[in-house]
Structure formats: C-alpha cells, structure tokens
Structure 1
C-alpha cells in the first residue's frame, strides 16, 4: 500500500517542480522585460529602420539613375573620345595595341580547357596578344593536363605562356602580381583578366548554368541586378565601380600607378579598383558585351564564395577609409560616393540589416508586443526594395518569394563575414577557390548510376541555420497563440527555408564518380 502511494505521488511532485520552474522563469522575464528588454528592443528597431531607409534611398536613387541612363543617357562611344583601329598597310598589325590575357588557375580540372580555348579564340591579331596561364595547381595530374593544353595551342601558333611558381603566397593576387613581372609583359599596353570559369569576351556576366537548380536561379537574380544596375550606375555617374576580378580590361599604366596587385584582403580586385580611382583613373562599364561564366551550384561552394565577397569589402573599408578621406586627387562627391554608397550602404548595411532586422529583431517584437514596428518599415520598404532588385531578371519574377527567403538565409553568413572583416577576426583572410563543375554534371548525367550525395548526412548539417530556424519557428508559434500582426505567415516560411538549408537540401547534389 505504501508502495502504491509513493508511486502515485511522484508524478505530482515532478509536475509541481515543473510548474515552479515555469513560474520562476515567467517572473524573471516579467521583471526584466519592462525596464530592460522593451527600451533595448525599441532602440534596436530604430537603428534597423534607419538602416532600412538608407538602403531604400540608395535603391530608389539607383533605380532613377538607371532609368534616366536608359532613356536619355549618352552611350559610352559618345561620352568619350575614341577612334576605331584602322588597318594600315605600312604599320600592319602594329597598329593594334599589345594585349596580355591572364588566366589564373587552381586545380581547375573541369574548366581549364574551356577557358584556355576561349582565350586562344579571341578575335585579335595573333602577334599582338599573349595568353598567360598562371597555374597555382597543387594536383600534379591537373598541372600536367593544363601544361599539355597550353602546348597544344602553342603548336597551332598561339603565343601562350604557361607560368607556375613554387608557392601560393597571396593566392590569386600573388599569381597575377608574379605574372606581371615577366619580361615579355613590358611590351604590353593592356591586360585582360579572365577567371577559369569565364569564357570568350569581356563585359557583363552571362551565366551558363543558371537553370541547373533553384539555387543558381536565385544567384542569377542577385548578379543581374549587380551588373545591370549597380555597375551601370557607377560607370555613368562617377566613372567608378568595383572591379569583379574577371572579364575586365586594364591599362597596364593604370595598374602600375595604382600600386599593382595587393594581397592584403580577399578582394584584391576591388582593392585595385579603389586605388586606381583615387589616382584619378576613370572606369567604363560596357553592359552590351557579354561574358559566359559559371555559378557555384553547391551550397558549400556558394557559402565559401559569399564569405569571401562579404568579408573582403568590409576589411578593405577598414583599411582604406582614412586613405580615401585624405585623398586630394578626386572630388569630395566622389569620395562620398565611394565611402557612403559603395562601401557603407552596399557592402555593410545591406547585409547587416537584412539578417538583423528581418531574421532577429522583427521576430523578437512578437515576443515583446510592447514594441511595434511601423508597417512602412516591416512591409512597404522591404517590398519596394525587393521589387527594385528583381527588375534585372524579369524571367524569374515568379520566383521572387523564394529569392527573398534564400537571400535572408544567406544574409546570416554575409553578416557574420562582414563583422569578421570589420574586426579582422579569425577567417578574415580565408581564401577557398570556388568549386567549378564545368561539363562534369552533363557528362555524368548520361551514366545510369544512383545519385548519391557526395557528403555524409552529418557533414551536410549547418548548425547556425538550424538554430535560427528554430528561433523563427518558436516566434511563429508564439505569434499564432498570442500575436495580432500575423507575422507567423512569414516566420513559418522563413523558418522552413532555414531548415531546408540547415539540412543541406539545396543546390546540386553531385553524384559520386
């Protein structure tokens, strides 16, 4: 009888303990909520709204400028004095400037033939062009393949140089800098840079694998806006834009005057562009010329790329902001453009406000209903910004909701990388070459084999995404029970997006060899 009584009492004891703990937690929350959490959250909301307005004004400004450029703007051939190269019987091909084409490579098994072949097929007098393959490959088999490909083109009469070095110091910047030291470069007037995944001509990027998976379609939408709007606006207004590191032509005189390639950040291309601009050189963007390139189609490759693209500009801003302010060769307005528009709004605020506001602060207001976000800040401004970003890719307008959710997830890594760059923390100089697949997937598609993930399930888990997804899901559930703003619709959708990417189910899953 005693045994039965004690058994019956135990569950009530546990229930009482659990109720006591809940009451204590609730009491602590109620005590700190009013004096601490509410004022703090209101302050954070105000900061986020200010950043949202900064981004909104920048997007509207660029939208107005691009419309005016398209309607009334003078074309580059009218803005600048130039003359087409004419055939001269006496001078022959010497009327053409000498051009160096640099192709930096690192273990590019899938794309080395495409990139070398495209460069060797450029329409330019063969005695006025030098193709320079800068091979930093660590795989001896790939090195041999690249060297054999260069020898094959050399046997056809192409002036192609295969250059290697005994270290990878400075990564891509180090390879390009080393390539400029060769004696034959002294005879060149221009240098053209192509990454291994770019082919044929220079100008606006055209993705060759945008339809490979949903993730590449999302990337296409972001890149199209960058090229068709951001680059065009910078070129048309201040003759400055961030060089993307590939598919561009440089006067060697401009490169040398700016101080050449530097490896102090992971965005050596942007570093060079800013320094050249401060020396008074003008940049011209030609959106009518198209360039084929490959987008990363695996989540792992894309995350590494986005870390480099977000961390590098933040770190460069830290290193150059004082130099830009003190510069006396360019106008004050151009310095304001470079510091405020180019760096602060586009490279810092855009990443931080996307994650902090829409994935942290806005959900937090569900838990603290005393703090309200005005509808213009929660709905209208982000909607207009999203629509302005989407104009570059009309064919993907039906994917707009997926793009928003995808970009919000990626903003987690971009924000983290931005702070790493600003603070010069651990991974500030991390450089991992973006994996290219080339025609590998097409070749493997014809082979009837089970599609198995390259990575084990445990290796595909991304803890940060899962934690943020759990937080958003909890806020969504709380909003369903206690809320009144119907944020749960967005919160559930965004939580699912974080969970999908957290479990690695996005991008191309590559079959085993």
Structure 2
C-alpha cells in the first residue's frame, strides 16, 4: 500500500511539472505571436558613415577541425566590412596536423591585406571559453563576433547585426542558425526542426518581453564591455 502511494505521489508530481512546462511553452508561443506585430523602430548605426563604424573582432575558436577548417577560413575571408575596422582571430587549440595547415592558410589570407591572426595555446585550460578569454584580452574590436568552426556566415552578416549596437543598452545580438544538411536524412530534418523551434519560439518569445535569452556560443556579437561587466 505504501509503495502504491509513493508511485502515485511521484507520478502526480511529474504530471504537475510537465503541466507547468507546457504553460511556460504556451506563454512563449503567445509572446512570439505578439512579437510578430511589433514594428521595429530600433536606432541603427549608419555603417556608410565612417565615423559610426565600430571596430569588430571576429573570434573563431577551433579544435582539430580537419574537415571544415579550410571551408571556414575561405568563407570568413569573404565577410563584408571595412577592412580597417575588422580583425579576425583564429583561436586554435588543435593538437593534430591542422595547426600547421591552418597557420599556412592564415598566412595566405593575411598576405591579401586581411587582418587575421593565428593564436595557439600550450595550456588548454577552460577549453573553448579559455581560448575566447585569451583572445579577448588582446582583441582590437569593441564588438566581438563569435563563430564555431562549422558555421558559415553570409557575407553581409556584420552589416545585418552591427547596426543594432547604436543603442548603448544592447549587449549582445544573437542570430538564428540555418542548416546546410537539413534534407540529408530524416534525422537531420528532425534536428533542424528542433533548433528552428528553439530560435523562433524560445528566443523571440523571451526577448520580446525583455527576459534573458541564452547565448548559443556561436553566431552572435557581443559588446566587449558587456562581457567584462558580466564577469
């Protein structure tokens, strides 16, 4: 009899927790729908005016990315932004042969006039976060854009995101992910659907009401002082 009651109590608590979670998701859905009707009147930087163009550092934290490293570097070299206001840091914690090939690739891009540096560490403390922190200490930019190795931003990505930093209260701009292999299999279709739901529902729903959103570790831009203020 006692075991039966324990099972009933545990089952009931589980149902209540699921109910609360469902209500939270419903709230996000309502917020998302309402957000679609909001007209965006955000002040924007005029990037055609050289005096308003902020310095941007792009950070690329990588680790043994043999299959995507060349693709990443070739893609990031196409990014559109005033070259005198753009720095690219390749934060390479690799322990395989890609260290040498990446260094050679970076040197070729640097020879074209691109401000790109290859930064390696002997101590991988903190892993990705540690690499980002070490790069941040010497970053030239007031704004820090971060991309993982398997991300390929559009050439005009900075022109779409940087203007929003005219508002001094904006600390981070997080963008949606798209999927190169969405239609590869039923598994990738399910994964793409789950991520799309996260970005369209959770992040828009939270942000529209001024709630905290999750930074996804990539495909976003931070104001440097915001990172330091957050500790």
Q: Same fold judged by TM-score > 0.5?
A: yes
CA contact (8 A) 1:94 1:128 kept: no
Secondary structure at the residue paired with 2:132? helix
Moved more, 189-198 or 239-248: 239-248
Per the alignment, residue 11 of structure 2 pairs with 45
Distance 1:69 1:162, change over 3 A: same
Gaps of 5+ in 2: 158-174
The structure carrying a bigger helix percent of its residues is 1
Q: For 1:255 and 1:214, locate their aligned partners in 2 and report how far apart those are by CA, in whole Å.
A: 38
SS of corresponding position for 2:25: helix
SS at match of 2:33: helix
Q: Is the 8 A contact 2:56 2:141 kept in 1?
A: yes
CA contact (8 A) 2:57 2:88 kept: yes
Can you list the C-alpha shifts for 1:223-250, whole angstroms capped at 9, x where unaligned? 0100011011111111520000001011
The CA distance in 2 between the partners of 1:225 and 1:57, in whole Å, is: 16
User: Does the alignment pair 1:232 with 2:197?
Assistant: no
In the alignment, structure 1 residue 118 sits paired with structure 2 residue 75: yes
Tell me: CA distance 1:170–1:179, structure 2 relative to 1, closer, same or farther (3 Å). Answer: same
Write the distance in 1 (CA, Å) between the matches of 2:185 and 2:39. Answer: 38
CA distance in structure 1 between the partners assigned to 2:57 and 2:211 by the alignment: 24
| 3-state DSSP of counterpart to 1:133 | strand
SS in 2 for 1:219: helix
Alignment of 1:136 onto 2:98 = no
TM-score (normalised: structure 2): 0.87
Assess if the C-alpha contact under 8 Å between 1:121 and 1:200 holds in 2: no
What pairs with 1:383-398 in structure 2 (closer than 5 Å)?
A: none
Within the alignment, does 1:56 sit opposite 2:16 as a pair?
no
SS in 2 for 1:109: coil
The residue that corresponds to 2:148 in the other structure is 195
Q: Which has the higher contact order (CA 8 A, sep 6+)?
A: 2
Deviation at 1:213, TM superposition (A): 2.2
Q: Residue in 2 aligned with 1:205?
A: 177
- When residues 42 and 228 of structure 1 are mapped into structure 2, their CA distance, relative to the original with a 3 A threshold, is same
What does residue 165 of structure 2 align with? Answer: none
User: Is the 8 Å Cα contact of residues 134 and 164 (structure 1) preserved in structure 2?
Assistant: yes
1:250-265 superposed matches below 5 A: 250-259=222-231
Distance 1:41 1:47 in 2: 10
Match among 162, 166, 175 for residue 131 of structure 2: 175
**For 1:274-306, what per-residue CA distance to the aligned partner results, in whole angstroms no more than 9, with x for missing partners?**
xxxxxxxxxxxxxxxxxxxxxxxxxxxxxxxxx
Unmatched tracts of structure 1, length 5 or more: 1-34, 88-92, 260-513
**Alpha-carbon distance in structure 2 between the residues aligned to 1:188 and 1:65:** 34
**Corresponding residue number in structure 2 for 1:10:** none
**Distance across 1 between alignment mates of 2:211 and 2:53:** 25
Q: How does 1:457-468 map to 2 (within 5 A)?
A: none
> Do the aligned partners of 2:93 and 2:121 also contact (CA within 8 Å) in 1?
yes
The one of 84, 98, 110 aligned to 2:46: 84
Shift in Å, 1:108: 0.3
Q: Secondary structure at the match of 2:123?
A: coil
Matched position secondary structure for 2:208: helix
Deviation at 1:127, TM superposition (A): 1.2
| Root-mean-square deviation (Å) | 1.5
Q: For the residues of structure 2 that align with 1:44 and 1:95, how far apart are their CA atoms?
A: 59
Distance, in Å, in 2 between the alignment partners of 1:161 and 1:225 is 36
Q: Is the 8 A contact 2:31 2:206 kept in 1?
A: no
Q: In structure 1, what is the equivalent of residue 192 of structure 2?
A: 220
CA-CA distance at 1:36 after TM superposition: 2.8
Question: What SS class does the counterpart of residue 197 from structure 2 fall into?
Answer: helix
Q: Is the 8 A contact 1:66 1:232 kept in 2?
A: yes
The CA distance in 2 between the partners of 1:239 and 1:47, in whole Å, is 27
Does the Cα contact within 8 Å between 1:131 and 1:161 map onto a contact in 2?
A: yes
> How many angstroms apart in 1 are the aligned matches of 2:74 and 2:82?
16
TM-fit CA distance, 1:94: 5.2
Whether the 8 Å contact between 1:111 and 1:196 is mirrored in structure 2 is yes
How far, CA to CA, are the matches of 1:234 and 1:114 in structure 2?
Answer: 34
Helix, strand or coil at the partner of 2:177: strand
1:145–1:175 CA distance, 2 compared to 1 (3 A): same
Structure with the higher strand share, 1 or 2: 2
